[in-house]
Amino acid sequence: MSKSYYQPEDLKKFPQITEFSEKLGNKFFDYYSEVFAEGALTAREKSLIALAVAHAVQCAYCIDAYTTDTLEKGCNEQQMMEAVHVAAAIRGGSTLVHSVQMMNKAKEISM
Amino acid sequence: MKNLKSLVSRGSELVHGATQLTHLGQATERLRGLPRFTEKLKSSSLSPFKPLQLEIFQINLGKMCNQTCRHCHVDAGPDRREIMTRETMQLCLDVLQNLPVKTVDLTGGAPEMNPNFRWFVEEITRQGKTVIDRCNLTILLAHEKYRDLPEFFARHRVKVVSSLPYYQKGFTDRQRGDGVFERSIRALKMLNEVGYGKEGTSLELDLVFNPNGAFLPAAQASLQNDFKRELKQLFDIEFNQLYAITNMPISRFLEYLVTSGNLEAYMEKLVQSYNPAAAPGVMCRNTLSISWDGKIFDCDFNQMLDLAVGCAKSRHLSQFNLAELSEREIQVDQHCFGCTAGSGSSCGGTLT
Ligand code: SF4
Ligand code: SF4
């Protein structure tokens, strides 16, 4: 076993998760590839969404994979960073919008 | 990008084709473990790998260039002096006279820097053949003597194919040198002004996109849409087609891969992305490539790797023999994965 939880080589082993549960793994990968196929959204739009979500969930593997993928979809660095800012804004916003609940509660129990 | 010098002038070991091929195939455990291109051809029923009908004659007029791009597969630059002589050009013309090819593709270096460039173009068009000029754009502004090239091209209905790695400055200048983007835009405007890329003129101006690093190009059609929209909106520039090409892991791009630590991952990517549908259409099957000193090669990449054509009786223009060459086996090695990855890649863009 390696000394670190995250190994860049492990990303390539993602398809091997079928080893422990073939049926569920295959179902997931079928679903995954269909999700990312060109549809009502372009493959590039989907890749940028994935890049943003990868940052929101802070998945090092997904950031690695979707940085390459967005570049391979012809995106530029500004577009990529704007996508990450969208994720950051939603995360920040979702923290801050809960402050309404804090304010409500504070007002409820305060004179 | 800081000023770069050619591999040759820096005395790099990568100037030798054989060293490059050893790097690609043998340098590390991971690279040694990758499938061989020859095996892939076998599995695609393309072995032995033979040419089809010859359609394009690609002539490399020399390694001299006004730029020194980081990814250059020719290792071209202002410090390179190898250029085709008029005598060798005459040999090309003599061979071409009897060939059924309709297209002559001129490349370099910057082919226009060859002092006999215009004479050569005129002589080729006199034979009724179409000339493609692989123009790096900035050459049009490099010196007073090149300013009228757009009119010259138009007069001889030369098809102009130009590299522009992106519709923005950042990617372009990091790959091709500081200020290249701005000068390329000015050059594109000069070409548009004489009618190139404009509807109804039939003066064709095509652009070549290549990725700005160790990754594969995006889908050609979607990139073409982006480039058309952005270049029109930002600079009022028009062009005909965009070709998306893959960076070949040789010469200066190989050096970049090695020094940036991307070689193994890039080769794995190329190998994994092998597309059996792209393999039958790779350009060595309908093209012959001629070097500045008149030697014959399967393609411009093999030329730069010094991979002699597999036809001992016809290795130089002075002994050109189409019948013999048609029977040859194409010389392939691990760099060939650059032509078959993803949608495939050639001088005319994607293959599938
Ligand atoms: S890529 Fe083209 S323009 Fe750039 S150095 Fe090489 S030959 Fe010159
Ligand atoms: S590198 Fe040359 S020989 Fe190899 S597949 Fe490409 S065109 Fe053919």
Domain boundaries, chain A: 14-110
Nearest chain A Cα distance for residue B167, angstroms: 10
The residue contributing the CA closest to ligand 2 atom 8 is B284
pLDDT (average), residues B292-299: 98
Q: Confirm if A28 and A34 have CB atoms less than 8 A apart.
A: no
Residue B293 above 80 pLDDT? yes
Phi, psi at residue B173, to the nearest 5°?
Answer: -70, -30
> How far, in Å, CA of B296 to CA of B314, rounded?
8
Percent of chain B surpassing pLDDT 70: 99
> How far, in Å, CA of B299 to CA of B309, rounded?
9
Tokens 């090149």 map to which residue? B146
What is chain A's mean pLDDT, rounded? 95
What is chain B's mean pLDDT, rounded? 96
The CA-atom distances, in angstroms, between A98 and each of A85, A92, B139 are: 20, 10, 59
The whole-angstrom distance between residue B165's C-alpha and the CA centroid of its chain comes to 13
> How far, in Å, CA of B119 to CA of A25, rounded?
64
> How far, in Å, CA of B111 to CA of B160, rounded?
12
Please work out whether the CB of residue B175 comes within 6 Å of at least one atom of ligand 1. Answer: no
Q: How confident is the model at residue A7 (pLDDT cuts 50, 70, 90)?
A: confident
Residue B289 above 90 pLDDT? yes
pLDDT (average), residues B245-267: 97
Q: How confident is the model at residue B1 (pLDDT cuts 50, 70, 90)?
A: low
Is the N-terminal amide bond of B48 cis, ω within 30° of 0?
yes
pLDDT (average), residues B1-19: 89
Q: For chain B, what percentages of helix, strand and coil (3-state, to nearest 5) are there?
A: 40, 15, 45
Residue B2 above 70 pLDDT? no
The residue contributing the CA closest to ligand 2 atom 2 is B299
Residue B61 above 80 pLDDT? yes
What confidence score (pLDDT) does residue B263 get?
97
Q: How confident is the model at residue A3 (pLDDT cuts 50, 70, 90)?
A: confident
Is the N-terminal amide bond of A92 cis, ω within 30° of 0?
no
Nearest chain B Cα distance for residue A68, angstroms: 7
| Closest C-alpha among B314, B303, B244, B298 to residue B56 | B298
B258 Cβ contact list (under 8 Å, min separation 6): B14, B23
> How far, in Å, CA of B98 to CA of B89, rounded?
15
Q: Residue B71: helix, strand or coil by DSSP?
A: coil
Strand partners, B163: B208
User: Is the CATH number 3.20.20.70 carried by domain B13-340?
Assistant: yes
Residue B246 above 90 pLDDT? yes
pLDDT (average), residues A12-33: 96
> How far, in Å, CA of B313 to CA of B61, rounded?
23
Q: Do A72 and B226 touch (CB under 8 A)?
A: no
> How far, in Å, CA of B248 to CA of B208, rounded?
14
Candidate from B60, B73, B284 with most ligand 2 atoms within 8 A of CB, to mutate: B284
Candidate from B8, B74, B176, B207 with most ligand 1 atoms within 8 A of CB, to mutate: B74
CATH for A14-110, among 3.40.50.2300, 1.20.1290.10, 2.60.15.10, 1.10.1040.10?
1.20.1290.10
Residue B297 above 80 pLDDT? yes
**Residue A8 contacts B, CB cutoff 8 Å:** no
Across the beta sheet with B205-209, the strand order is B242-244, B205-209, B159-163, B130-135, B103-107, B56-60, B287-290, B296-297
Residue A8 above 90 pLDDT? no
Residue B73 above 80 pLDDT? yes
Task: Find which of A14, A46, A47, A76 to mutate to test the B interface (most B CBs within 10 Å of its CB).
Answer: A76
Instruction: Give the model confidence (pLDDT) of B104-142 as tens digits.
Output: 999 999 999 999 999 999 999 999 999 999 999 999 999
What confidence score (pLDDT) does residue B230 get?
97
Handedness of CA B175, B177, B178, B181 (dihedral sign): negative
Strand partners, B242: B207
What confidence score (pLDDT) does residue A4 get?
86
pLDDT (average), residues B262-272: 97
> How far, in Å, CA of B242 to CA of B228, rounded?
9
**A46 sits in which H/E element:** helix A43-56
Query: What is the four-CA torsion angle of B33, B14, B314, B94, rounded to 10 degrees?
Result: 140
Residue B3 above 70 pLDDT? no
Please work out whether the CB of residue B76 comes within 6 Å of at least one atom of ligand 1. Answer: yes
**Residue A9 contacts B, CB cutoff 8 Å:** no
> How far, in Å, CA of B75 to CA of B173, rounded?
18
Q: How confident is the model at residue B306 (pLDDT cuts 50, 70, 90)?
A: very high
Helices vs. strands in chain B: H and E counts, helices first: 15, 8
Neighbour count for residue A88 (Cβ, 10 Å): 13
Tokens of B327: 């029977």
ipTM above 0.85, yes or no: no
Nearest chain A Cα distance for residue B270, angstroms: 13
* Chain A residues inside the 8 Å CB shell of B223: 74
Candidate from B283, B309, B337, B351 with most ligand 2 atoms within 8 A of CB, to mutate: B283
> How far, in Å, CA of B159 to CA of B202, rounded?
9
Partner-chain residue, chosen from B168, B216, B217, that has the shortest CB–CB distance to A76: B168
Residue A1 above 80 pLDDT? no
| Closest C-alpha among B131, B127, B192, B138 to residue B157 | B131
| Closest C-alpha among B210, B329, B349 to residue B282 | B349
Centre of ligand 1 from the C-alpha of residue A30, in Å: 43
